[in-house]
Chain A
Amino acid sequence: MTARRKSLLAILLGPGAFWITLFFLIPLVLVVVYSFLERRSGGGVLWSFSLDAYVKLFSPTGDTLINDFMMILLRSLWWAALTSFVCLIIGYPLAFFIALQPPSHRTAYLFFVLIPFWTNFLVRTYAWKFILNNNGLLNNLLQALGMKRIALINTPTAVLIGLVYGSLPFMVLPLYASIEKLDFDLVEAAQDLGANYVRVFSRVILPLTMPGIVAGIVLVFIPVSGQYIVPTILGGGKVAMLGNLLAQQFGPALNWPFGSAIAVVFMALLMVGVIFYLRGDAREEEVGL
């Protein structure tokens, strides 16, 4: 590489590298370092090595093997998985429908999927609170129709609705991208070879759109597992997720090392999943998908 190309590369990559170092790498290192320090009672840390935070996170309480903190962490994963699954069930037919439209219509449908992003997520979540409230839109509608009111707000169901609502576009877009690329001649070829509708889907469509499914799940799962706004507003603090736990440790509980340790353990758990994803992706790269 010539010196000229080297300097050009440095100019082009410099800002990005600087950005990642300043806003991602340094905070990340800080979090890891904090998790091994001692708590300072007024907030912040004392600069002496300590495993207290990890001990606290992994030590059983009473007769249960997993303490409440770890439980919240695992529950967050469960909620993220559930949200991903529901988004996939709703998003797949939707993405398929859009991909089957004439090209001129597809843009319009994708536009509708993206419209919610024009409004701040916090505002939209409050809107859901008004819909789901005991005296909200939904219950008033039910009453008007002569049905019983249902208590939704501050329940796990309300949180799930909010999480699915917020994540659906992140599932639909990658799904759409992979379904739109699907060669429908292959569907005909499979039918021609005797595959009924179920088998055409399971043997041809599903495997060929798997990259979109995996990408959609990653894009939904990771942000949802750290969600703070939805469980706070629609769960009323009764449905605690990882985000709430972190906010509590860095806020009222003033236990920065413990908060950092929770973040580190959670990151490690996610990393395992992402590594699996990337290895699967690399395999597909080999076969030219």
Chain B
Amino acid sequence: MSEIYDVELRNVTKKFGDFTAVKEISLGVRKGEFFSLLGPSGCGKTTNLRMIAGFEAPTSGEILLGGQPVSQLPPFKRNVNTVFQNYALFPHLTVAENVAFGLEMKGLAKDEIRRRVADALEMVRLPDSGAKKPHQLSGGQRQRIALARAIVNQPRVLLLDEPLGALDLKLRKAMQLELKELQRQLGITFVFVTHDQEEALVMSDRIGVMNHGKLLQVGTPEEIYDRPANRFVADFIGDTNFLPCRIRECQEEVAWVQVGQSLQVKAACTQTLAQGKEATLAIRPEKIHLHPPGSEGSPGEDVFAGRIVEAVFMGTDTRYVVELEPTIQLVVRFQNVNAAAERFREGENVVVSWQPTSARVLLS
């Protein structure tokens, strides 16, 4: 092995009876990385996390922590800590006793425990809550205590199972940034499970997108967003136009495809595809530009004529539906930089344009 990962999954499969929750996943999480497992509910991301924590044993494959195989180790012998979705704070213990729990299990001295608990509560900005019981705290405060209870142990890896899911939108946004900042300070490797694509994009160094137990793509937020590996990833993250197309020519990373009856489109692709193959053309609504009829677009852009069939004002931008051919419609998001009088109206003829690198040919 060239690189030693903090967390590594080698060909891991997990079955529950006939149901395969996780299918042959291989994955390496680097030291100090904020790694998100992103996918819809039931995609196997939580099962993955539970296997790393030790609550589930893989049916086959191996899990390594810091290069050491741990598949046979019970949870209490692994140097990882979990922040649970429902926080799982001990209701019979005070906040301070909750945070001290892990340190007591390690058998640290009382003074040391007291000092580290105080530090951890300080770090989550609840220094005076030690004597309270969990039920006296708000949801956001419980979330912080669950975090403090985990990080106080200085684990090699912190596992977070949708920790922000129960918070309201505003609090969630604030906690996203706070968590990210905390991770930077501590330098602990985070494995973060979420179904919220925006959350994953905002917080992660890298994202692993999962569906139906499979890991579909691993990459930085930019890579995942700009160069989705397949239709599911493109669809799950952000909004995308999908147009059925046929390959006319494909060389290395550039393809020429036919869309609808007559549209010839140049697009990026990740592999060489056979001529005549059916595929999907994906293009993000914000990468499409609108111009008045007769425009040539910017240099290097593909240009097509169309007609606006729908225009919905959304504040910072307007959402247009542009028809290129009777069955070919594109959603376009155009920033409202112009004065209201100069904006396009329903029924108007327009020219749409985009850079060929913004359009991608996807197979599935």
Contact = CB atoms under 8 A, between A and B. Distances in A.
Nearest to A188: B55
B148 to A, nearest CB: 12
Contacts of B86: 185
A289 B92 CA distance: 7
Interface in A162-195: 183, 185-186, 188-195
Given A192-B76, A193-B102, A196-B76, A288 B91 contact: yes
Which of A193, A196, A203, A289: most chain B CB closer than 10 A?
A193
B88 interface: yes
B135 interface: yes
Interface in A187-220: 188-196, 199, 203-204, 207-208
Contact of B74 (A185, A191, A199, A207): A191
A115 interface: no
B232 interface: no
Contact of B135 (A188, A192, A195, A288): A288
Given A193-B105, A287-B135, A208 B76 contact: no
A32 to B, nearest CB: 40
A189 B84 contact: yes
A274 B106 CA distance: 38
Interface in A14-39: none
Nearest to A210: B92
Which of B75, B86, B133, B153: most chain A CB closer than 10 A?
B75
Which of B54, B80, B92: most chain A CB closer than 10 A?
B92
Interface string B103-129: 001100000000000000000000000
A185 B82 CA distance: 11
B124 to A, nearest CB: 16
A288 B91 CA distance: 8
B84 A185 contact: yes
B35 interface: no
Nearest to B92: A207
B153 A194 contact: yes
B84 A194 contact: no
B91 A208 contact: yes
Given A192-B75, A192-B76, A204 B84 contact: no
Given A185-B86, A199-B105, A288-B135, A192 B92 contact: no
A33 B153 CA distance: 65
B82 A192 contact: yes
A203 B100 CA distance: 13
B101 interface: yes
Contacts of A203: 101
Given A199-B105, A288-B133, A288-B135, A188 B75 contact: yes
Given A185-B84, A188-B84, A287-B133, A193 B153 contact: yes
Contacts of B106: 194
A189 B88 contact: yes
A189 B153 contact: no
Contacts of B133: 287-288
Contacts of A188: 53, 55, 75, 82, 84, 88
10 contacts: A188-B88, A189-B88, A192-B54, A192-B55, A193-B81, A194-B106, A195-B101, A199-B105, A287-B133, A289-B92
Top 6 closest pairs, chain A to chain B, by CB: A194-B105, A193-B102, A189-B88, A191-B75, A185-B88, A288-B135
Given A195-B101, A195-B105, A199-B105, 20 more contacts: A185-B84, A185-B86, A189-B88, A189-B90, A191-B75, A192-B76, A192-B80, A193-B101, A193-B102, A193-B105, A193-B153, A194-B102, A194-B105, A194-B106, A203-B101, A204-B90, A208-B92, A287-B92, A287-B133, A287-B135
